[in-house]
């Protein structure tokens, strides 16, 4: 990575995008390149040549990208001046990847631009194509003489998935290495472009405080969760051949695992970092068939309901998915790392589609302090300290520890300290591809996978793929769309006396009309005030007539809403919320809520809500308006401070 935070544009080069008419190009790649242009990080000697089968002209390509980049950029407002220059650098060559004439035409265009812009012969090839044609494109480039062009560097970015299993990844590596040297190949994993993922290294190695504790002596276990609320989003055909193990765990999650658990590298030089990552993956225990049955859980979503009550189709009902599909859309795995640092510290990973919320989090749970001092006090138990990395959509780091509850007795409460990226830094939201493409342009391969890393990751996944391909799961589908995932994923930890740490994030607040669309800083402040609480089966959370002091978010479980006539009006489950008028008014409750199962809820108290509004008076207006429009409530002056002025 560049070691100074200055605007140093990438090397002069021609970027050739294979698959320029595809989804990746329009949604992520071109917008990211435009962001680099906005930040002055593209050389003035730079051009893009797109290639795909569509018979477009350069003008048509420019017109389409003008529409699509505007649609997918995360930068507001759109910078017309930058775009006017950028769009003039776009070129298009139609052609099929198995047509030598197309590559001859490409050679002419690239050669012409190289001379015109004085790029010094530097060419970056980006394979934004289905993986099945990576080899075909490489061999066509070779046949057309691109790999041997004299002056300047030639680099190739290869998209994921890199291989379908260990054997095909090894074969693809062999094929690529026939035409390119290892230092020319940049295998992309877009998670490594995320600031929060890169921050794992910064956090670990720039803070003297935690690294001494980063081992089996102090850490009880580690959890990785990558939850997605979306389904397969029209990609059923691809997903049928993939499943969550290949799509998320083998690549994105193992990359994060490597960053979190590797030994300190001797420097940030690409190979120093990648050596340590490779060593870590090598130390992950390869599971036997029996261990897989014991330590890995897979799931597939069935029909369910979204938080808004809308019906969600099951995976088998998605387009291009077999009605008897055994593809897993969820997996939870317990891994062991057989090295000196981590021996005996389990690492639990879980990922799934159509879960109740989107959220990527890493929880490092420390060993408990001895409770000897607190045994005869009002402190009921000592909990674990936890360090939580919020990767997305919230970006931040949270430390959970105990504090004494004010009062005469020795009572403890879990409290947290939280750093939110958005509060500390004022950076525009990046797509993640910016840093990856830029690093490739400057020849820094730190954030890209090497042959051994890719193969190491497949080596861990392969026994699971083998086992799951032979044993068809009779219980599929085994979790409802919009739920927490299969129960067995919870049993996996409960068996070890542990539980998943559930994190509530901004997505949940987005579903509450009162908070939807509000500023992330406002939402983050709200999230930090949420208090967890648990109700047993049959408990009343509140009864009709009770004074309303708070609202509730259901993390897990089920409740019924009982009307004044004693009849059940509806039931609510994970992801639902209730009692929101309790934030706005102290009017007594007009219904009762009773738990139908053990139900974990997050509580937002009116007093805390008021504090947050006091810190963010600029949101008072919109809260007041929504209260009026949706709930027909005029808010008490004591709750809503005057906009723009902090309440006393
Ligand atoms: P698309 O199917 O949308 O695009 C594929 C592109 O490749 C199209 O431009 C297509 O041209 C072109 N193409 C395919 N075969 C040929 C051929 N034989 N000759 C010429 N052109 C060909 O795929 P995506 O853009 O979604 O994905 C591309 C890669 O990026 C994949 O490896 C994917 O896994 C990866 N990726 C995608 C992400 C995404 O969000 N889309 C995210 C992360 C990775 P035409 O349209 O003319 O057929
Ligand atoms: C892609 C997967 O690699 O990552 C998708 O193919 C998944 O299935 C996506 O949805 C998740 O990426 P992000 O950045 O939204 O977490």
Burial bucket for residue 223 (CB in 10 Å: 0-12, 13-18, 19+): buried
Question: Is 404 a residue whose pLDDT tops 60?
Answer: yes
Distance 23 CA to ligand 2 centre (A): 13
**Does residue 623 contact residue 526 with C-beta atoms inside 8 Å?**
no
Which one of 35, 91, 252, 390 is the catalytic residue?
Answer: 252
| Residue nearest atom 8 of ligand 2, based on CA coordinates | 247
Provide the residue ranges of all domains of the chain, joining segments of one domain with +.
4-159, 193-491, 504-639
Cβ–ligand 1 contact at 24 (below 6 Å)? yes
Name the DSSP class of 29: I
Cβ–ligand 1 contact at 52 (below 6 Å)? yes
Lowest-pLDDT range of 241-245, 276-280, 582-586, 614-618: 614-618
Give 423's contacts (C-beta < 8 A, 6+ positions apart): 521, 524
- At 611, the pLDDT band (50, 70, 90 cuts) reads low
Nearest 5°: CA angle at 115, between 111 and 118?
125
**Rounded mean pLDDT of 65-88?**
96
Distance 623 CA to ligand 2 centre (A): 33
Question: Is 600 a residue whose pLDDT tops 80?
Answer: no
Lowest-pLDDT range of 3-17, 165-179, 505-519, 522-536: 522-536
| Residue nearest atom 4 of ligand 2, based on CA coordinates | 248
CATH classification code of 193-491:
3.30.360.10
pLDDT at 455: 97
**Rounded mean pLDDT of 276-292?**
97
Question: Is 643 a residue whose pLDDT tops 60?
Answer: no
Give the HSE-up count for residue 441: Cα atoms under 13 Å, Cβ half-sphere. Answer: 25
Question: Residue 93 pairs with which residues in a beta bridge?
Answer: 51
**Does residue 96 contact residue 53 with C-beta atoms inside 8 Å?**
yes
pTM listed for this prediction = 0.83
Q: Which residue of 32, 55, 56, 128 sits with most ligand 1 atoms within 8 Å of its CB, as the best mutation to test the pocket?
A: 128
> What is the percent of the chain with per-residue pLDDT over 90, rounded to a whole number?
63
Question: Is 580 a residue whose pLDDT tops 90?
Answer: no
**Rounded mean pLDDT of 177-201?**
94
CA distance 150 to 554: 63
Cβ–ligand 1 contact at 235 (below 6 Å)? no
Q: Output the CA torsion sign for 190, 195, 200, 202.
A: positive
pLDDT in tens, 36-57: 999 999 999 999 999 999 999 9
- Burial of 12-40, coded b for 16+ CB within 10 Å and e otherwise, reads bbbbbbbbbbbebbbbbbbbbbbbbbbbe
Question: Is 4 a residue whose pLDDT tops 60?
Answer: no
- At 598, the pLDDT band (50, 70, 90 cuts) reads low
User: Mapping DSSP to helix (H, G, I), strand (E, B) and coil, where does residue 589 land?
Assistant: coil
pLDDT in tens, 121-130: 999 999 999 8
**Rounded mean pLDDT of 238-250?**
95
Question: Is 263 a residue whose pLDDT tops 90?
Answer: yes
Name the DSSP class of 265: P
Cβ–ligand 2 contact at 576 (below 6 Å)? no
**How big is the chain by its Cα radius of gyration, in Å?**
27
CA distance 637 to 648: 12
CATH classification code of 504-639:
2.60.120.10
252 is catalytic: yes
DSSP states of 210-252 as a string? Answer: TGGG-STTTEEEEEEEEE-SS--TT-HHHHHTTHHIIIIIIII
pLDDT in tens, 450-471: 999 999 999 999 999 999 998 7
Q: Output the CA torsion sign for 356, 357, 360, 366.
A: negative
> What is the percent of the chain with per-residue pLDDT over 70, rounded to a whole number?
92
The whole-angstrom distance between residue 150's C-alpha and the CA centroid of its chain comes to: 41
Lowest-pLDDT range of 95-109, 389-403, 425-439: 425-439
4-159 falls under which CATH superfamily? NAD(P)-binding Rossmann-like Domain (3.40.50.720)
pLDDT at 613: 76
pLDDT at 648: 31
CA distance 32 to 50: 15
CA distance 526 to 516: 12
* Helices 195-206 and 254-261, packing angle to 10 deg: 20
Question: Is 644 a residue whose pLDDT tops 50?
Answer: no
Mean pLDDT of the chain: 89
**Rounded mean pLDDT of 186-211?**
94
pLDDT at 60: 97
Of 575 and 104, more confident: 104
Distance 447 CA to ligand 1 centre (A): 22
Question: Is 365 a residue whose pLDDT tops 70?
Answer: yes
Question: Is 95 a residue whose pLDDT tops 60?
Answer: yes
User: Mapping DSSP to helix (H, G, I), strand (E, B) and coil, where does residue 345 land?
Assistant: coil
Cβ–ligand 1 contact at 164 (below 6 Å)? no
Of 618 and 432, more confident: 432
Question: Is 642 a residue whose pLDDT tops 50?
Answer: no
pLDDT at 406: 75
Q: To which residue do tokens 């910064």 refer?
A: 202
Question: In 10 A of CB 393, how many CB atoms?
Answer: 15
- At 640, the pLDDT band (50, 70, 90 cuts) reads low
- At 6, the pLDDT band (50, 70, 90 cuts) reads low
Report which ligand 1 atom has the smallest distance to the Cα of 190: 43
Distance 132 CA to ligand 1 centre (A): 10
pLDDT in tens, 17-29: 999 999 999 999 9
Cβ–ligand 1 contact at 54 (below 6 Å)? yes
pLDDT at 147: 74
Question: Is 491 a residue whose pLDDT tops 70?
Answer: yes
Which ligand is the nearest neighbour of the Cα of 50? 1
pLDDT at 356: 81
Cβ–ligand 2 contact at 247 (below 6 Å)? yes
Question: Is 602 a residue whose pLDDT tops 90?
Answer: no
Question: Is 2 a residue whose pLDDT tops 60?
Answer: no
């Amino acid at each position: 990575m560049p070691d100074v935070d200055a605007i140093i544009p990438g090397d002069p080069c021609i970027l050739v995008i294979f698959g320029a008419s595809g989804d990746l190009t329009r949604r992520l790649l071109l917008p990211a390149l435009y962001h680099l242009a906005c930040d002055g990080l593209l050389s003035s000697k730079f051009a893009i040549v797109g290639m795909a089968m569509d018979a477009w002209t350069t003008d048509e390509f420019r017109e389409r990208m003008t529409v699509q980049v505007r649609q997918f950029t995360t930068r507001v407002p759109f910078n017309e001046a930058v775009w006017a220059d950028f769009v003039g650098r776009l070129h298009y060559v139609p052609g099929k990847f198995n047509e030598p004439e197309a590559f001859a035409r490409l050679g002419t265009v690239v050669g012409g631009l190289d001379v015109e812009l004085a790029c010094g012969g530097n060419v970056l090839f980006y394979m934004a194509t289905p993986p099945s044609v990576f080899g075909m494109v490489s061999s066509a480039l070779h046949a057309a003489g691109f790999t041997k062009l004299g002056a300047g560097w030639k680099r190739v970015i290869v998209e994921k998935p890199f291989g379908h299993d260990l054997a095909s990844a090894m074969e693809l590596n062999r094929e690529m290495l026939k035409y390119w040297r290892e230092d020319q190949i940049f295998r992309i994993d877009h998670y490594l472009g995320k600031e929060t993922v890169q921050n794992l290294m910064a956090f670990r190695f720039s803070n003297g405080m935690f690294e001494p504790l980063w081992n089996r002596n102090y850490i009880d276990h580690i959890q990785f969760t990558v939850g997605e609320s979306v389904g397969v989003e029209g990609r059923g055909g691809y997903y049928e051949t993939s499943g969550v193990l290949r799509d998320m765990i083998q690549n994105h999650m193992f990359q994060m695992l490597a960053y979190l658990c590797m030994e300190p590298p001797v420097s940030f030089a690409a190979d120093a970092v990648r050596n340590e990552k490779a060593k870590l993956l090598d130390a992950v225990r390869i599971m036997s068939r029996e261990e897989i049955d014991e330590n890995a859980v897979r799931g597939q979503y069935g029909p369910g309901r979204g938080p808004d009550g809308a019906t969600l189709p099951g995976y088998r009902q998605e387009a291009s998915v077999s009605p008897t599909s055994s593809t897993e859309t969820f997996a939870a795995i317990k891994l062991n790392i057989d090295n000196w640092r981590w021996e005996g510290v389990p690492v639990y990973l879980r990922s799934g589609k159509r879960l109740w919320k989107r959220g990527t989090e890493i929880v490092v749970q420390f060993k408990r302090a001895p409770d000897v001092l607190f045994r005869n006090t009002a402190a009921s138990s000592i909990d674990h300290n936890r360090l939580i990395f919020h990767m997305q959509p919230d970006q931040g780091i949270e430390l959970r520890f105990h504090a004494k509850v004010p009062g005469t007795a020795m009572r403890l409460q879990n409290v947290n300290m939280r750093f939110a990226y958005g509060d500390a830094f004022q950076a525009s939201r990046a797509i993640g591809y910016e840093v990856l493409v830029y690093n490739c342009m400057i020849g820094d391969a730190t954030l890209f996978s090497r042959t051994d890393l890719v193969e190491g990751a497949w080596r861990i996944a392969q026994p699971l793929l083998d086992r799951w391909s032979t044993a068809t799961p009779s219980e599929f589908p085994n979790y409802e769309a919009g739920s927490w995932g299969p129960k067995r994923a919870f049993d996996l930890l409960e068996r070890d006396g542990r539980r998943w740490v559930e994190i509530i994030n901004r997505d949940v607040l987005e579903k509450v009309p009162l908070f939807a669309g509000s500023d992330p800083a406002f939402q983050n402040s709200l999230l930090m005030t949420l208090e967890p609480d648990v109700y047993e089966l049959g408990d009343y959370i509140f009864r009709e007539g009770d004074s309303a002091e708070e609202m509730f978010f259901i993390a897990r479980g089920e409740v019924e809403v009982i009307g004044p006539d004693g009849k059940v009006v509806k039931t609510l489950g994970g992801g639902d919320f209730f009692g929101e008028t309790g934030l706005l008014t102290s009017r007594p409750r007009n219904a009762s809520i009773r738990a139908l199962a053990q139900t974990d809820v997050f509580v937002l108290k009116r007093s805390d809500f008021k504090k947050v509004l006091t810190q963010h008076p600029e949101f008072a207006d919109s809260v007041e308006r929504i209260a009026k429009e949706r709930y027909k409530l005029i808010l008490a002056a004591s709750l809503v401070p005057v906009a723009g002025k902090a309440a006393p």
